[in-house]
A and B are shown apart, each in its own frame.
Chain A
Amino acid sequence: MNGPGQRQLRNETRDETGAKNMKYILLMSGTRAGIEGYHTWSKPDIEAHMAVLHRINKDLTASGEFVATQGLADPRDAKVVRGEKNGAPVTDGIFPESKEFLLGYWIVDVASSQRADAIAGRISAAPGPGGKPTNMPIEVRQFANHESKSD
């Protein structure tokens, strides 16, 4: 079983959670070279970074906007799979140097696109080495199956 934070909230339960009916996914990505850079951060810098991300998750839960968050394992374990003629999987682990890998994501349920941008801005401003904001770009994407609240 999965924790409540990792489960999709179905439409009929949204009202109880204070959800706002516009779902966005905030994607944090990086190239393999960029990701290696994180391994050079000092322990206090990593802890300060994680503390801010935890704080953001807590705030989103309190405001009823939190749906799910997840970190992905190192891109070294990434594979690309294609189905052969008979449907058998063909796996490959070679990616172009320029490829951006997903590091992690947040799914939020908000009242406006501006609110989604503001949350992404907070994530982007999480502290990096020396406590300076990372200002890393966060991709903001709306879910395809958004419905209007009036149904």
Chain B
Amino acid sequence: MKYMLMMNTMKTGQGVLAWPEKDLHAHIAFMIGLNKELQERGELVSAEGLSFPDQAKLVRAGNDGRPITDGVFPESKEFLAGFWIIDVDNPERAYAIAARISAAPGAGGRPLNMPVELRPVMSGPPQEMV
């Protein structure tokens, strides 16, 4: 069963840059350790971090098919900060991994307890679209 675990942030998510370097290193070490463990268990499909939201763009096709780019987003918008795709035996295992990510250490080494969005990945297009 494949799931995508998403770590979202508001535009102010750059707060991590204000963390003491030691805390940032502990956070990154935690994430590297987790990814290694998931990989060893054969549960990791991929994991990536995205650049900060100030570099995000919204693209629409104009009438001639040319891209029209826009960098203005509503204040309330959640931006994807990073994601994991995992392949696990049951939803409970996906929840457990999401909870570990949620409890990653933040400033002062305290668990962040950040919300992690969990979504089943489609194994193929819906039948009516094939």
Contact B69 A25 (CB under 8 A): no
Contact A137 B99 (CB under 8 A): no
Residue A33, interface by CB 8 Å: no
Contact A80 B60 (CB under 8 A): no
B contact residues around A145 at 8 Å (CB): 48-49
Residue A84, interface by CB 8 Å: yes
Contact B56 A141 (CB under 8 A): yes
B contact residues around A89 at 8 Å (CB): 95-96, 98-99, 102
Contact B65 A121 (CB under 8 A): yes
Task: Determine the interface band of chain A, counting residues with CB < 8 A from chain B.
Answer: 35 or more
Q: Which 7 A-B pairs have the closest CB atoms?
A: A121-B67, A83-B103, A125-B61, A89-B99, A81-B98, A120-B59, A83-B102
B contact residues around A47 at 8 Å (CB): 129
A contact residues around B58 at 8 Å (CB): 137-140
B contact residues around A73 at 8 Å (CB): 119-122
- How many A-B pairs with Cβ below 8 Å? 165
B118 partner, pick from A50, A80, A142, beta carbons under 8 A: A80
Closest Cβ of chain A to B39, distance in Å, is 11
Interface of B is mostly: strand
Q: Give the total of B residues in contact with A, Cβ under 8 Å.
A: 53
B99 partner, pick from A83, A99, A118, A124, beta carbons under 8 A: A83
- Known A82-B99, A83-B101, A143-B50; further 20 A-B contacts with Cβ < 8 A: A27-B80, A43-B128, A72-B119, A78-B118, A79-B95, A80-B117, A81-B95, A81-B115, A81-B116, A89-B95, A100-B77, A120-B59, A121-B66, A133-B65, A137-B70, A138-B60, A139-B58, A140-B56, A140-B69, A141-B80
A contact residues around B46 at 8 Å (CB): 6-8, 68
The residue in chain B whose Cβ has the minimal distance to the Cβ of A138 is B59
Contact B128 A141 (CB under 8 A): no
Residue B21, interface by CB 8 Å: no
Residue A13, interface by CB 8 Å: no
Residue A60, interface by CB 8 Å: no
The residue in chain A whose Cβ has the minimal distance to the Cβ of B92 is A89
B contact residues around A88 at 8 Å (CB): 99
Separation of A135 and B59 alpha carbons in the complex (Å): 9
